[in-house]
Amino acid sequence: MKQSNQSEMIGILGGMGPLASAEFLKTIYEYNLDKQREQEFPKIIVYSDPSFPDRTEVFLKQDYHYFLEKLIDTLSKLCQLNVSKIIICCITSHYLLPQLPDEFKKRIISLIDIIMIDILKQKEKHLLICSKGTKKLEIFQNHEFWPMAKNYLILLDEEDQNIIHQMIYHLKVQGTIKECFPILESLKTKYNIEKFVVGCTEIHLLSKYWDLQMNQNRKEKIFLDPLTILARTLPELSLSQANYNC
């Protein structure tokens, strides 16, 4: 792994939910364990604010003025700390990226971009595991790469989407993981698809658990996880290539 640019600071806007963003920070440092000295690890600032309103609730009501103000204020605080790039650790919140000032857009690494680029590289069908808000707001469908990626991103029907939405909220509050895998296994059987797209950062907890506890021998990758991709590729990733383009 190449040595990171010691002047570069990465900002993570977390707290939506807090367990996922905390685990993401841990994942980044786990992927840097091949460095010879801890002083070579990436420099990261995590701003974890769980007080952000429920994204699905306020976005579906189109009542997100306060949320947008709070988001802009928080991004401004991160920029004042001289972060060069920002990762918003909530995919549903990406709905508001087009409404952000340009000074923030140019620093944000879009998790939707990361997913779309990787799905087009793999060209394999994946089930999209996301919140009800992300699906109903068509955050993925409105991405510029959707026409090329839509045959590889399979959406859940309404009943299964509600089940996944409740599972995500269970992860946010309880953090319990093992009981989630039977749900995913049933979806694999129903849709005849072996892989999942992590369309909600809470699912990063399941992705990590799969890789570390359930998949040690087979090394089977069933999750396309943008947080894992970023953790693995920082700092080699040319972050300017991952900017959100409005």
DSSP characters over 55-104: HHHHHHTT--HHHHHHHHHHHHHHHHTT-SEEEES-SGGGGGGGGS-HHH
* Mode of pairing for the β-strands spanning 43-48 and 9-14: parallel
Per-residue pLDDT of the chain (246 residues; tens, 9 = 90+): 344 445 689 999 999 999 999 999 999 999 888 777 888 888 999 999 999 999 999 999 999 999 999 999 999 999 999 999 999 999 999 999 999 999 999 999 999 999 999 999 999 999 999 999 999 999 999 999 999 999 999 999 999 999 999 999 999 887 788 889 999 999 999 999 999 999 999 999 999 988 877 655 556 789 999 999 999 988 665 444 444 333
> pTM, whole model, 2 decimals?
0.90
Tell me yes or no: is domain 112-225 CATH 3.40.50.1860. yes
Q: Are 9-110+229-242 and 112-225 equal in CATH topology? A: yes
What kind and span of H or E run contains 216? none
What residues does each domain of the chain span?
9-110+229-242, 112-225
Give the CATH number of domain 9-110+229-242. Answer: 3.40.50.1860
Cα–Cα distance, 124 to 44 (Å, whole number): 33
Tell me if 239 sits within 8 A of 84, measured CB to CB. yes
Structure token digits, residue 184: 């995913």
